[in-house]
């Protein structure tokens, strides 16, 4: 039996004074009212290993720290809040969107908290993990073919439009053609990077899909310091880089590729091409291998486009874009858990010809 010794008189006296103090103090539980209060203010983290051998300092802004595990929480919340303020969103409304997964997850999460219904049209290129996650968050999901033209009635753009037209009291988020997509990143991500780096940022490297992230960040940063370089990342199989250089939509650029959320087969108005200094294109293979390397060496479990973004950093470095004084912020858009059946599956990597298991680095083999 454990006995407590009887406190001495002085101890009892301090005890009583202390108890009185506590009773007189107003106690409060420190808690967030909902996950929505945790959107934004993501950290920037120095990249120590993957940047070895490159001139400059490299920092990742890790968007997986958002409650919905991606940068898309920012635009989803901003667009829904704006619609509520304008009186467009009424109680019990339905939120409709085309999404490669991340925006859908953010919309579904916000719909739960705010009491809306959520219907999503998703490309069949999206990983099964992403589709299952959307359903787990209560969204209704239509899976549409990625291989058809944007104006084909089966495309996820057309399906979302139709659902919106046929559903009373619904709004269509339309992230590819919504200026609020840029605003969301202008007001939050861009401002955060400026403040977190104390204005010392010299370059940002950002993946371009809808273009909201790169345009919002670029616009804010260039207003503070016009010499900051805004460097884009595009995919082979996408039209964005060519359009940026020629202002022409070249259909010949389009072919299927694996990276989800990067590049596009149309020109989104949510991209402000004038803000972007340059694009590089990255391959499916190098981006996948890079994402795995970031996870293993930095302890940051990142998604496919984070690999694409750092692969682009390497290519920009090879072009001589950075020097010893460069402070480069690279956006890591989402979390690795969304790609377990793809880039983090050795089988999938082998099927794509991305991983040669015979010649795999000995240090990576697991002994049982
Ligand atoms: N990475 C991922 C995983 C995405 O889902 C997206 C969005 N399509 C992007 C990058 C690109 O961001 P943005 O749409 O703002 O250009």
pLDDT tens by residue, 54-92: 999 999 999 999 999 999 999 999 999 999 999 989 889
For residues 218 and 365, the model is more confident at: 218
Is 303 touching ligand 1 by the criterion CB < 6 Å? yes
Residue-wise pLDDT for 233-265, tens only, equals: 999 999 999 999 999 999 999 999 999 999 998
Whether 192 has a pLDDT exceeding 70, the answer reads yes
Q: Is 211 in the pocket of ligand 1 (CB under 6 A)?
A: yes
CA distance to 36, 75, 84, 117, per residue, from 81 (Å): 11, 10, 5, 15
pLDDT in the model for residue 127? 75
pLDDT greater than 60 at residue 36: yes
Tell which atom from ligand 1 comes closest to the C-alpha of 334. 3
Span from the CA of 210 to the centroid of ligand 1 (angstroms)? 7
**d(CA 215, ligand 1 centre) in Å:** 12
Q: Whose CA is nearest to atom 6 of ligand 1?
A: 261
The one catalytic residue among 8, 26, 49, 72: 72
Highest mean pLDDT among 85-89, 99-103, 145-149, 270-274: 270-274
Q: Name, in order, each residue with C-beta under 8 angstroms of 117's C-beta and a sequence gap of 6 or more.
A: 92, 93, 94, 95, 111, 140
Contacts of 251 (CB under 8 A, 6+ apart): 239
Among the listed residues 275, 280, 261, 264, the one whose alpha carbon sits nearest the alpha carbon of residue 333: 261
Residue 208 Cβ < 6 Å to ligand 1: yes
ipTM greater than 0.85, yes or no?
yes
Q: Is 72 a catalytic site residue?
A: yes
Average pLDDT, the chain: 92
CA distance 239 to 60: 26
Q: What does each C-alpha distance from 198 to 201, 214, 265, 366 come to in angstroms? A: 8, 20, 37, 43
> How many helices (H) and strands (E) would you count in the chain?
12, 10
Q: Which H helix or E strand runs over 105?
A: helix 102-114
Backbone angles phi, psi at 29, to 5 degrees: -90, 130
Identify the bridge partners of residue 117 per DSSP, sorted by sequence position.
Answer: 94
Ligand 1 pocket mutation pick from 234, 262, 336 by most atoms within 8 angstroms of CB: 262
Q: Which atom of ligand 1 is nearest to the CA of 181?
A: 15
pTM listed for this prediction: 0.90
Predicted confidence band at 146 (pLDDT cuts at 50, 70, 90)? confident
pLDDT digits (tens, 9 = 90+) for 151-178: 899 998 899 999 999 999 899 999 999 9
Rounded Cα distance between 158 and 98, Å, is 9
Question: What whole-number percentage of the chain has pLDDT above 90?
Answer: 80
């Amino acid at each position: 039996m454990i006995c407590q010794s009887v406190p001495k008189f002085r101890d009892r006296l301090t005890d009583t004074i202390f108890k009185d103090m506590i009773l007189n103090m107003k106690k409060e539980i420190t808690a967030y009212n909902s996950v929505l209060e945790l959107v934004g203010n993501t950290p920037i983290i120095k990249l120590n290993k993957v940047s070895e051998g490159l001139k400059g300092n490299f920092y990742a802004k890790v968007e997986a720290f958002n409650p919905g595990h991606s940068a898309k929480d920012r635009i989803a919340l901003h667009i829904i809040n704006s619609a509520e303020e304008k009186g467009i969103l009424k109680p019990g409304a339905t939120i409709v969107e085309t999404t490669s997964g991340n925006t859908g997850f953010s919309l579904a999460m916000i719909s739960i908290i705010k009491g809306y219904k959520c219907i999503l049209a998703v490309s069949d290129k999206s990983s099964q993990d992403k589709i299952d996650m959307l359903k787990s968050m209560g969204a209704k999901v239509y899976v549409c073919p990625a291989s058809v033209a944007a104006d084909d009635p089966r495309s996820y753009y057309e399906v979302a439009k139709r659902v919106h037209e046929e559903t009373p009291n619904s709004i269509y988020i339309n992230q590819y053609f919504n200026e609020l997509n840029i605003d969301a990143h202008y007001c939050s991500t861009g401002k955060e990077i400026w403040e977190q780096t104390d204005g010392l940022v010299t370059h940002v490297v950002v993946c371009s899909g809808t273009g909201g992230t790169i345009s919002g960040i670029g616009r804010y940063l260039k207003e503070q310091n016009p010499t900051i370089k805004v460097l884009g990342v595009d995919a082979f199989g996408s039209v964005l880089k060519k359009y940026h250089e020629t202002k022409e939509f070249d259909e010949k650029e389009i072919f299927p590729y694996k990276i989800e959320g990067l590049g596009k087969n149309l020109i989104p108005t949510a991209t402000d091409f004038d803000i972007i200094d340059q694009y590089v294109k990255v391959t499916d293979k190098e981006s996948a291998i890079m994402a795995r390397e970031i996870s293993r060496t930095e302890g940051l479990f990142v998604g496919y486009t984070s690999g694409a973004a750092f692969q682009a950093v390497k290519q920009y470095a090879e072009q001589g874009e950075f020097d010893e004084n460069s402070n480069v912020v690279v956006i890591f858009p989402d979390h690795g858990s969304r790609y377990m059946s793809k880039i983090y599956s050795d089988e999938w990597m082998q099927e794509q010809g991305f991983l040669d298991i015979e010649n795999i680095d000995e240090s990576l083999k697991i002994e049982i």
